Amino acid sequence: MNYVGIDIGSTASKVVVRGEKELHFVLPTGWSSKETTMTIRERLLKEGIDVEDEKTRVVATGYGRVAVDFADKVVTEITCHARGGRELAEGDCTIIDVGGQDTKVIQVNGGMVMDFLMNDKCSAGTGKFLEIMANRLGITLDELFELAKTGEMIPISSLCTVFAESEVISYIGEGRPREDIAMGVIESVVSKVAQLAQRQTLAEKIILTGGLSHSAYFAERLSKKLGAAVTPTAFGRFAGALGASYLAEEKK
- Region 93-97: what's the mean pLDDT? 95
Instruction: Please say if the pLDDT value at position 128 is more than 70.
Output: yes
Query: What is the per-residue pLDDT for 206?
Result: 96
Asked if 28 and 38 count as a contact pair (C-beta separation under 8 A), the reply is no
| N-to-C CA span, the chain | 14
Is residue 226 within 8 A of residue 197, CB to CB? The reply is yes
Instruction: Report the share of the chain in percent with pLDDT over 90.
Output: 66
Q: What pairing do the DSSP bridges indicate for beta strands 230-232 and 206-210?
A: parallel
pLDDT band at 123, cuts 50/70/90? low
What does the alpha-carbon distance between residue 102 and residue 117 come to, in Å, rounded to a whole number? 10
**DSSP states along 6-27:** EEE-SSEEEEEEEESS-EEEEE
Q: Does 225 score more than 70 pLDDT?
A: yes
pLDDT in tens, 189-209: 898 899 999 999 999 999 999
Q: Give dist(CA 47, CA 31) in Å, integer.
A: 25
Contact present, 164 and 173 (Cβ < 8 Å): no
